[in-house]
A = this chain, B = another copy of it.
Amino acid sequence: MLESGVVRERADAARNRLRVLAAAERLFAARGVAAVTMDDIVAEAGVGKGTLYRRFGDKGGLAMALLDERERELQQRMLRGAAPLGPGAAPGARLAAFVQAYLDLVVAQVDLVVLSETSAPGARLRTGAHAFWRQHCRYLLAESGAADPDLRADLLLAALAAEQIRHWVNDEQRIPADLAEALSNVAQLLAQP
């Protein structure tokens, strides 16, 4: 027993986790998310199917793992970064900054985020990341003196669902920057009492 309490990841498990992530990233980049099957990934990674599923649960879990790094980075900027995204600015301004930053993150990897939010019914609302965004919006809305901040946070995040964003950007050809501004404005409205 080297570790205390927490069981350390076994060497072969770590190796395979990285292999799978690398393979998935490669294939998604090469063919697009929709055209890649779990069998493809397994073959490319040179591992068994059980290995993939043991580690990532399902297709959405794999997508979440691939997004994890960028999401955590944004979360850090929100908690400890510079204003207006980080602490220091007025809650309304922070909310607008969050909308902008989150939109950027989603637009950069729409298909992957869609996958992570739609693999299972209700997946979007159950992720740890979603709980974080929600908590943050609730807090900022409450700080702004908004009525019913809980509901309004959900409303704002519903508008930021990946499928909605993909629809706006891909199907309706909206410019992400304009969209970010328009949504920031609505966020200001929601921050009203």
Contact = CB atoms under 8 A, between A and B. Distances in A.
Contact of A163 (B122, B189, B192): B122
Interface stretch (A7-15, A61-69, A153-161): A153-161
Contact of A151 (B147, B148, B182): B182
A190 B192 CA distance: 11
Contacts of A158: 155, 158-159, 161, 164
B114 A163 contact: no
Contacts of A164: 125, 154, 158
Contacts of A166: 122
A121 interface: yes
A185 interface: yes
A183 interface: yes
Contacts of A183: 151
* Oligomeric state, in copies: 2
Contacts of A151: 182-183, 186
A37 interface: no
B125 A121 contact: no
A49 interface: no
Q: Which of A151, A161, A166 has the most CB of B within 10 A?
A: A151
A118 interface: yes
A109 B159 CA distance: 23
Interface string A142-185: 00000110011011001101011011100100000000001101
7 contacts: A122-B171, A125-B167, A125-B171, A147-B185, A158-B161, A189-B192, A192-B192
